[in-house]
Amino acid sequence: MGRTIRLFVVALVAALAVAACGGKDEAPTPKAAAPNASSPQVVNDGTLAAGQKVAAPKGEVVLTVSGDIGEANKGKQLQLDLASLERMRQVRLEADEPFLKRRVMFQGVLLSDLLAVAGVKDSASTVSLTALDDYKVDFKVADVRSSQMMLATKADGKHMPVDRSGPIRIVFPDSSSLGRNPDLWIWSVSSMKVA
Amino acid sequence: MADQHRRLGPAAGAARAGSVDPTLVLRRRRGPLQLALAGVLVVLILVVEVLILQAYVNVSRSTAIFGQVTFLTGNLVNVQREALLLNVKIEELPTTHDLQGVMLRRGLLGNQLRVMEGLGQGDARVSEALRAIDPDLRLIDSALASAEADPTEANLHAQAKRMRPAISRVIFTIKDLYDAEEQGFFGALSGTLKARSSSERLLVGLSGMVLVVGLALALSLRQRVRKDFARAYQTLTAEVEERKAAERALRASEERFRSLVQNSSDVISIVDADGGVRYHSESVRRVLGYDPAELLDGDPITLVHPDDRERVARFVAEAALRPGVTSAETWRVRHRDGTWLHTETVAANLLEDPNVRGLVLNTRDVSDRKELEAQLVHQAFHDGLTGLANRTLFSERVEHALARSGKGDLAVLFIDLDDFKHVNDSLGHAAGDQLLVAAARRLQGCLRPADTAARLGGDEFAVLLERVADAEAAAAVAGRVLDTLHQPFGLNGRTIPIKASLGVATGRPGADEAEELLRNADVAMYAAKAGGKDRYELFHPDMHEDMLQRLELEAELRHVADRDQLVLHYQPIVELVSGRITRLEALVRWDHPTKGLLGPGAFIPLAEEQGLIGPIGNWVLLQACLQARRWQDQFPDAPPLDVHVNLSGRQLEDQGLVGEVVQALETARLAPRLLTLEITESVLVSDIEAMSTRLRELKGLGVQLAIDDFGTGYSSLSYLRRFPIDMLKIDKAFVDGIGRGREDTALAHAIIKLSHTLQLHAVAEGIEEAEQAANLVTLGCRDGQGFLFSRPLATAAMTELLAKSLAEGGFFLPLTTEPLESLSG
């Protein structure tokens, strides 16, 4: 008797649950990264590290950092050209490019390294990135550190022009959960504000 | 077996509610309907499950496509936006000269297009659109290169003008691509949905069926479950009710017990096994007068009568040894006021009962009952009227006395009051009772304390004398008893002497039987009665024989009248001077088959005693009248002869006597004056009033009345005047005296003179000698009878005598002188 009722209830609940799941048009989670996905590899430690003065850029300015920073070279802003960026510790990362849907070998600096060079204070919580086309993405400072997101200056060994998502763009390792959202892969980054 | 009963049905289950496990009721197997429904439900659910999984796969495929499309269309929007921004920059170029801005926009558009290419891999429309706009993009790039080379206003105008249609085409191409993508997507989507709708209808249908079947199953189960629960509930409540009822009953029984104990009229005591009293009920106050608490302090045995203490202790000890209830025992207990009560106690051994752990004694006061018992015993063994021992107790005493050895002889006196019946009949039963009480008191007064006086019934008394020396000593007591009784007894204003007949028998302890002794005394008493009353007789073995004969005679006497064993003899009464027969006295004889002819003295008193005189007397009366008639008929010429018939006292007491006389006279057609009825003097004195009435009635018939045996009775002669008497028959005793001496002759003379004075006809009886007859004539007595003239003769002989004498001149008898035996009536 008890068993019959229990069986019936279980079946009913299962049926309802399945029906509910089936009824909802739930987006499928994107497929995980390829098995050979790798984390950022250090290419060289560079010459520009945290605590060092960052000289004013000689070339074209690709990134202007402002807000809660301890290092500046133009007023309260820290202006960086590609050369400055490439003097910082360089890392390499192969990742799935979500728009082109192929693997690309990126090179650049870890955004966290950049924040350190810029003298971002511990109290800072948010990093706001703006692209040339005014596209804007906000990250939490903690996420920046934990996700090993990277500001790439090269793709497949070459600098990236604007029509190649350049000159600098944010990329994520395959393992990063943030990277699964393609909207966060902001390209043609031009400014960064720390708050 | 119990399990099966439970499964028989709710009725059986409910009836035995107390023993049913409710869970068993719920574990019963489901019915076939439920099983079928459950099976259908499971199949339906599996099918629905498969369909849902299939739909889910379809949907996820669709959503993947949808995601891609969304991604692509989003990118197309971006591309369009960049193209429009580029268009704006190109339009502004001639005025702003911002070639760098145009080139940045161109780069950003290029990047978006590159992304679109990546996203639209495999999409023909995307690659076609990219191919279509490629020349325009090259044109724009070349124009920009040209403008960079010659940044003059005119050239900028020219280049802007050159780029304008190209960028417009790019914008339109992208827009077209967007529209195409959108349309393609929705078309694909509707196809998918259409394909799904049929399977969804099936799914909905099946789900509906699942619901319906599930609902049916649920309802069916609910009903069953409800029923089961109702049954279980009923079972449980019944059980609870039963338990409650049992508790109530228990409580009621406890309360009842308590109230019984507290309100019982009996004393309830609880006693330990060692005899110590733990509890007395309140009723001890009422029954014994003690406070229950005060009684617990002392030793309870001190309340018991010293003679009973040992028995009480044994009673308690024995009750403690055995479970159960003892039989009732009685003993005496002292009331607080010092009196002794008889109590009856029953003990129940409840030592094992955890609630009691003791003996429960139930004691009640049975003093009243004991008294009643004693009273009943006394009543059973004593005569209610006189308070003397009754026959039962007397017999027991006699047996007891005989059983005691070596204490000397004992004697039994049987005493029967003489003529007690006369007292009872004439003075009433109250007077009779008074007489009996007086006799009893006098009897007791003659006895020693060890002797026993008893009333055996009626006017019969008995005395047991213990330790008498011999029969003479017993006889002395009997004489004393008679003397004591003789003393005049005042009753209703008259003085009546008590007379009695006594029988005395002696016995020896160890030798004689009580029954025999009593019978001997009885026989001796009868002998005394037969011997003339007012006397005692010592028992003699011969008396037994007499007694037996007497009893035999009694038995035969009952049928003497109807067995033609009676005969009449006749004795003539003659004129003394002439010897002429004037009258004939009828005298009854019993022609006994073995004993021969018996005179009236041998059986008339017995017949009177036994109440048999009626038929005999009537027979005599009738036969005498008939014979007188026959002689008249036989000797028509001779003067008619009077016939004399004797009447006994009992006959005179009988009210039917007058009727019998009338009937006899009528039957014989005899003139009443020819019948003379003879009555003994002693009969007349017993009840003068009644006799006077009866004699007047008889006299009224016209018959003559004679006093028989005159002179032997009491000397009061007043009755002679009061009764209508015609004749005196002078007793033989006086006749015998005539001529023997002066005094005797004078006595006879006086009687004859008396009869003359009262004008009564005198007849002398028992004349045996001629000299006597001559003297009587001289004294004035004219008539007489006796052997001198004729002895009583049988009818035939008498007839012969009459015929012979008549032939000689008229009933004259020759005077004879031969001596004759005494047979005179």
pLDDT in tens, A44-77: 888 888 888 888 899 999 999 999 998 899 888 9
Helix (H, G, I), strand (E, B) or coil at A33: coil
Identity (one letter) of the amino acid at B817? T
Q: Residue B523 has which token pair?
A: 């026989």
Query: Which residues of chain B have a CB within 8 Å of the CB of A1?
Result: 26-28, 30
Q: A–B: how many Cβ contacts below 8 A?
A: 96
> B57-87 pLDDT, tens per residue?
877 777 777 777 788 888 888 888 888 889 9
- B40 vs A: CB within 8 A: no
> What's the rounded Cα separation, in Å, for the pair B176 and B179?
5
B769 confidence band (pLDDT: 50, 70, 90): confident
Taking CA atoms, B490 is separated from B135, B418, B434, B493, B498, in Å, by 187, 17, 10, 6, 10
> A82-121 pLDDT, tens per residue?
999 999 999 999 998 888 888 999 999 999 999 999 999 8
In the predicted model, is pLDDT for residue B219 greater than 80? yes
- A6 vs B: CB within 8 A: no
Tell me how crowded residue B414 is: count the other CB atoms within 10 A of its CB: 29
Taking CA atoms, B22 is separated from A183, B1, B13, B29, B241, in Å, by 67, 17, 10, 15, 15
- Among A8, A12, A102, A183, most B C-beta atoms within 10 A, so best to mutate, is A8
The bridge status of strand B581-592 relative to strand B566-575 is antiparallel
- B101 vs A: CB within 8 A: no
Helix (H, G, I), strand (E, B) or coil at B390: coil
Contacts of B508 (CB under 8 A, 6+ apart): B409, B410
Q: Backbone dihedral region of A150: left (phi > 0), alpha (psi from -120 to 50 degrees) or beta?
A: beta
pLDDT of residue B21: 53
Region B569-594 average pLDDT: 91
Taking CA atoms, B621 is separated from B586, B605, B647, in Å, by 9, 18, 9
| Nearest partner of B591 among B626, B619, B611, judged by Cα | B619
Region B430-453 average pLDDT: 87
Region B189-196 average pLDDT: 75
Only one residue has tokens 């009685």, namely: B330
Is B119 close to A27, i.e. CB distance below 8 A? no
Residues A175/A150, Cβ–Cβ less than 8 Å: no
Angle between helices B391-403 and B367-381 (to 10 degrees): 80
In the predicted model, is pLDDT for residue B661 greater than 50? yes
> What's the rounded Cα separation, in Å, for the pair B265 and B281?
10
User: What is the average pLDDT score of chain B?
Assistant: 83
Region B589-608 average pLDDT: 86
Helix (H, G, I), strand (E, B) or coil at A149: coil
B2 confidence band (pLDDT: 50, 70, 90): very low
- A133 vs B: CB within 8 A: yes
Q: pLDDT: is B297 or B793 the higher one? A: B793
B771 confidence band (pLDDT: 50, 70, 90): confident
B6 confidence band (pLDDT: 50, 70, 90): very low
| Model-level ipTM above the cut of 0.85 | no
pLDDT of residue A20: 45
Contacts of A72 (CB under 8 A, 6+ apart): A78
B7 confidence band (pLDDT: 50, 70, 90): very low
User: What percent of chain A has pLDDT above 90?
Assistant: 47
Long-range contacts of A10-13 (CB under 8 A, 24+ apart): A11/B41, A11/B42, A11/B45, A12/B45, A12/B214
Region B179-195 average pLDDT: 80
User: What percent of chain B has pLDDT above 90?
Assistant: 18
Region B787-800 average pLDDT: 91
- A183 vs B: CB within 8 A: no
Shortest Cα distance, chain A CAs vs residue B251, angstroms? 41
- Among A7, A99, A189, most B C-beta atoms within 10 A, so best to mutate, is A99
Is B49 close to A102, i.e. CB distance below 8 A? no
Q: Residue B479 has which token pair?
A: 């004489």
Identity (one letter) of the amino acid at B780? G
Is B34 close to A4, i.e. CB distance below 8 A? yes
Shortest Cα distance, chain A CAs vs residue B253, angstroms? 44
pLDDT of residue B226: 82
| Report for B90-104, B214-228, B521-535: range of highest mean pLDDT | B90-104
In the predicted model, is pLDDT for residue A26 greater than 50? no
> What's the rounded Cα separation, in Å, for the pair B411 and B402?
10
Residues A154/A132, Cβ–Cβ less than 8 Å: no
pLDDT of residue B28: 53
pLDDT of residue B671: 93
In the predicted model, is pLDDT for residue B792 greater than 80? yes
Task: Give the DSSP letter string of B708-766.
Answer: EEETSS-S--HHHHHS---EEEE-HHHHHHTTT-HHHHHHHHHHHHHHHHTT-EEEE--
Query: Which residues of chain A have a CB within 8 Å of the CB of B118?
Result: 97, 99-102
| Nearest partner of A40 among A100, A113, A114, A90, judged by Cα | A90
Q: B150 exposed, middle or buried (CB, 10 Å; 0-12, 13-18, 19+)?
A: exposed
Q: How many residues does chain B have?
A: 825
Give A191's strand partners. Answer: A64, A130
Helix (H, G, I), strand (E, B) or coil at A92: strand
A190 confidence band (pLDDT: 50, 70, 90): very high
pLDDT of residue B405: 63
pLDDT of residue B359: 87
- Residue B17 DSSP label: G
pLDDT of residue B23: 53
In the predicted model, is pLDDT for residue B420 greater than 50? yes
In the predicted model, is pLDDT for residue B329 greater than 90? no
Range of lowest pLDDT (A27-36, B487-496, B505-514, B692-701): A27-36
Region B650-677 average pLDDT: 91
pTM as predicted = 0.41
In the predicted model, is pLDDT for residue B435 greater than 80? yes
Cis bond leading into B300, ω under 30°?
Answer: no
Q: Residue B823 has which token pair?
A: 């047979």
> What's the rounded Cα separation, in Å, for the pair B172 and B182?
15
Region B205-218 average pLDDT: 87
pLDDT of residue B689: 77
User: What percent of chain B has pLDDT above 70?
Assistant: 93
Interface of B with A in 189-248 (CB under 8 A): 207, 210, 214, 217-218, 221
Tell me how crowded residue B667 is: count the other CB atoms within 10 A of its CB: 13
B822 confidence band (pLDDT: 50, 70, 90): very low
Q: A162 exposed, middle or buried (CB, 10 Å; 0-12, 13-18, 19+)?
A: buried
| Nearest partner of B133 among B161, B174, B105, judged by Cα | B174
> B255-269 pLDDT, tens per residue?
777 777 777 778 888
Positive or negative CA dihedral for B377, B379, B383, B386? positive
| Tally of CA atoms within 13 A in the half-sphere of A123 that contains its CB | 5
| Report for A9-23, B418-432, B700-714: range of highest mean pLDDT | B700-714
In the predicted model, is pLDDT for residue B709 greater than 90? no
The bridge status of strand B642-647 relative to strand B581-592 is parallel
Region A15-21 average pLDDT: 46
> What's the rounded Cα separation, in Å, for the pair A131 and B348?
113
Region B295-319 average pLDDT: 85
Taking CA atoms, B198 is separated from B55, B202, B209, B210, in Å, by 11, 6, 17, 18
Nearest to B45 among A1, A15, A97 (CB): A15
Residues B713/B681, Cβ–Cβ less than 8 Å: yes
Contacts of A40 (CB under 8 A, 6+ apart): A91, A92, A93, A110, A148, A150, A173
Give the 3-state DSSP-derived string for B783-803, with helices as H, strands as E and coil as C: EECCCCCCCCEEHHHHHHHHH
B286 confidence band (pLDDT: 50, 70, 90): confident
Q: Backbone dihedral region of B122: left (phi > 0), alpha (psi from -120 to 50 degrees) or beta?
A: left
| Nearest partner of B627 among B610, B644, B646, judged by Cα | B644
- B340 vs A: CB within 8 A: no
Region B29-54 average pLDDT: 83
B793 confidence band (pLDDT: 50, 70, 90): very high
Identity (one letter) of the amino acid at B281? S
Shortest Cα distance, chain B CAs vs residue A100, angstroms? 4
Only one residue has tokens 């209610």, namely: B384
